[in-house]
Structure 1
Amino acid sequence: MESKVNADPAELAKFSDLAHRWWDPESEFKPLHQINPLRLDWIDAQASLAGKKVLDIGCGGGILSDSMARKGAEVTGIDLATKALRVAQLHAMEARTPNITFREISAEAMADEAPASFDVVTCMEMLEHVPDPASIVSACARLVKPGGWVFFSTINRNAKAFLLAIVGAEYVLQMLPKGTHEYAKLIRPAELAGFCRQADLELQQTRGMEHNPLTGRYWLSGDTSVNYLISTRKPAG
């Protein structure tokens, strides 16, 4: 029997259709370009990326993967959106990004193929787009070496997040394409923490990411009511 892939075909099609715009900093992906330095520095401050073997799950067009490779990590980016992956590969070739490869494979299949192979696993802005986020968290835990780091970022599920992340960002400010996020798929921090505990990942730090639409500035804070990031570690022993 064919195994069911933990991905929504409509989600994959949506991001594939936009693939050619990933590396345009003024496109629909402008917010990703703007938050990337914050995400990168937050990950690097905890996991010291230089010399580490890193897996970026749901890498899309490769914005985070590329920047981690430029910090000195050996990066593998995986995704199931074919066109976005082609964009990531093309950009890496054109920019001559060192130590980076991309593969079209699911997190679960990668975990079966290469368990406990990575010092760092990142899964950013992706869990809110899949049918079974707990399965992805479990795959991340299987992929990381004992003592290694796993990083997640996603969007809270509450009235404020609905107003700011969906109504505001997609419909009013048009910072993101309409339909980028579906409210029912958003994940509360307590739910994500629960998935992590089930997968034997130990919570290290939770940070919120805030945005001022007037100035366009993003910053990390203690406010996890809308966008938030979680760092975890796999026990060493």
Structure 2
Amino acid sequence: MSAINADPAELQKFSELAHRWWDPASEFKPLHDINPLRLGWINGKADLLDKTVLDVGCGGGILAESMASAGARVTGIDLSEKALSVARLHLFESGLSVDYRLISAEDLAEEMPAHFDVVTCMEMLEHVPDPASTIAACARLVKPGGHVFFSTLNRNLKAYVQAIIGAEYVLNMLPRGTHEYAKFIKPSELSRHCRNAGLDTHELIGLSYNPLSRVYSLGRDTDVNYLLHTRRA
């Protein structure tokens, strides 16, 4: 078993909120709002039907369940027992099938190398001590030619103002302290980590929020939130 690539304070923070994961009016409202966009983009690139899919850092299972509903055979992994308990409990309500496991991406990569058609790692890299380690594990987990999807936050003044000052302190969209600016990752840095792990980058796309219309959209603006589609060579 490898050393756990996780920040205990981060795990504690999300564990304390775990019971609210499936409340669309809770602190997790942004995840509920952006999930149709994430799912549609991933499905458009990888066609999830009958695919073997891994969701790394699945939390309470919002994306994992939606990929299962699109016809994928989904495994979700996380290091928060409380979040996984909530995810498993919600399966009784949704009637979907997802295999949830308490294990790190690094350890699962040792156990199941080159096993998955698709790997997703969304809104997680900015919360771990060593994102390059997580990226390398995702690359080992996917089959040659398979798809790996990441999403995270850019590191610049605009991202700091919108994602921390705006979202956490002004609009109260997220609990204060959700994000730490120093852990934000520039697209060039993420792309470099991916190349080093043997992943070819295919598309970089931005995720934007309009505070007036309260609507999220995908587009060219990668200044704050962005998603990256890669494939294993």
TM bin (shorter chain) = over 0.9
Residue 159 of structure 1 is matched in structure 2 by: 157
* Structure 2: distance between partners of 1:3 and 1:191: 24
* Structure 2: distance between partners of 1:102 and 1:3: 20
**CA-to-partner distance for each residue in 1:176-231, whole Å, 9 max, x for gaps?**
01000000000000000000000010000000000011211000001100000000
Could you tell me how far 1:95 is from its partner in structure 2? 1.4
Residue 7 of structure 1 is matched in structure 2 by: 6
* Structure 2: distance between partners of 1:71 and 1:159: 37
Task: Within 5 Å, give how 1:32-181 maps onto structure 2.
Answer: 32-98=31-97, 100-181=98-179
Residue 27 of structure 1 is matched in structure 2 by: 26
Alignment RMSD (CA, Å): 0.8
Residue 189 of structure 1 is matched in structure 2 by: 187
**Distance change (3 Å), C-alpha of 1:183 and 1:51:** same
* Structure 1: distance between partners of 2:147 and 2:49: 14
Could you tell me how far 1:3 is from its partner in structure 2? 4.2
The 8 Å contact of residues 18 and 83 in structure 2, kept in 1 or not, is answered as yes
Greater alpha carbon shift after TM alignment, 86-95 vs 180-189:
86-95
Could you tell me how far 1:39 is from its partner in structure 2? 0.2
**CA-to-partner distance for each residue in 1:70-92, whole Å, 9 max, x for gaps?**
00000000000110010000001
What secondary structure sits across from 1:178 in the alignment?
coil
TM-score, with normalisation over the residues of structure 2? 0.99
What secondary structure sits across from 1:88 in the alignment?
helix
Residue 234 of structure 1 is matched in structure 2 by: 232
Amino acid across the alignment from 2:202: Q
Residue 219 of structure 2 is matched in structure 1 by: 221
The 8 Å contact of residues 2 and 106 in structure 2, kept in 1 or not, is answered as no
What secondary structure sits across from 1:223 in the alignment?
coil
TM-score, with normalisation over the residues of structure 1? 0.97
The 8 Å contact of residues 206 and 222 in structure 2, kept in 1 or not, is answered as yes
Could you tell me how far 1:93 is from its partner in structure 2? 2.1
Question: Percent identity of the aligned residues?
Answer: 66
- Report runs of 4+ in structure 1 exceeding 4 Å deviation: none
- Give the length in aligned residue pairs: 233
- Structure 1 segments unaligned to the other structure (5+ residues): none
**CA-to-partner distance for each residue in 1:137-168, whole Å, 9 max, x for gaps?**
00000000011000000000000000000010
Could you tell me how far 1:94 is from its partner in structure 2? 2.1
The 8 Å contact of residues 2 and 107 in structure 2, kept in 1 or not, is answered as no
* Structure 2: distance between partners of 1:198 and 1:110: 20
What secondary structure sits across from 1:97 in the alignment?
coil
**CA-to-partner distance for each residue in 1:49-80, whole Å, 9 max, x for gaps?**
00000000000000000000000000000000
What secondary structure sits across from 2:143 in the alignment?
strand
